[in-house]
Structure 1
């Protein structure tokens, strides 16, 4: 089994999901007492979130690049960033290491196409929904993502940072997000494009196919480890 290095803590809530999912997937594949061979660097998210808010992506990228280099030095044979938004600095992180970076948008595009879809609704932070780094990467692979209207984007962003990243899950916010999805009738699937969205919603809540980015990214990490 190859060793994967995970950059986590963005947020710690979803990083827990990654750890549980990857260990479960390895056990399902190999059986018995097998588990994921994993190194993890968990950042303090508060300074990173402030850098995001300030638009200081260079500084945020430096933090992750340094952590990725430490993971490679400790034996990681691939790097994963356990967050969608921080893939805005994926090139900066990749430049700091000689091992591959397993990109969450690539795993997501593959899952969308495997579901027979091409026009997903992307639910994520405002950074991921509005900046080109994510949707352009999906588009290059034939996936044209739609996003909610501006007011809904702002509200969803607040739910993610003020609630989900802090472990707060409410039925009121769930109802709000389901209402956002219901407004978008042209989508053929829904991307949980923030790794915390799966804490609020489950595929059973929706009639459309769901691509949970945390889970498909975790699967990509496991495929690498066992490949």
Structure 2
């Protein structure tokens, strides 16, 4: 069927406007939309490099979905950034997962086992909601059970748990995954999804968030010069 000329032109204009809006969104994320400026900037200790912190939880399906894209983004950034993770607290069932994260980190095993923990929970459907479940899992995955338990129950890990709670409050973390850049800017796939057209997929929201992160790292680097 052939559209009337006026309708055809209107449709073309609508497509062009949508394309231009999408291009502008990718090139110039907006404060209050794709990212938020923290009312009180938090101190960083990364010198000329830009600090990037992800707040996440192992049980969170959106964190699991975001992980591959985030990991690729971190690798792409290279020496531009110092990347850190904070496992958020919630309740008693999440505490063993939080302790698992910080124990792996303290033992220098996080890079080797981080994705495996995610897969255990979201593919194998392990709950990892008790200390014994965590201990059994680490032993089955080749980690020295006794050494792990010693670290897991140490004062150092307890201090990291307290620090995570304090950081969550200081940054006003109300959702996850959530990314803080340079102690000043917050973004996330859910921020990117706010106001997005109906039907926008989670993967598209993730890409918009990553574009905002590119923009904010560039901005933060320029400010450090």
TM-score (norm 2): 0.30
| Higher Rg | 2
TM-score (norm 1): 0.30
Does 1 or 2 have the higher relative contact order (CA < 8 Å, sep 6+)?
Answer: 2
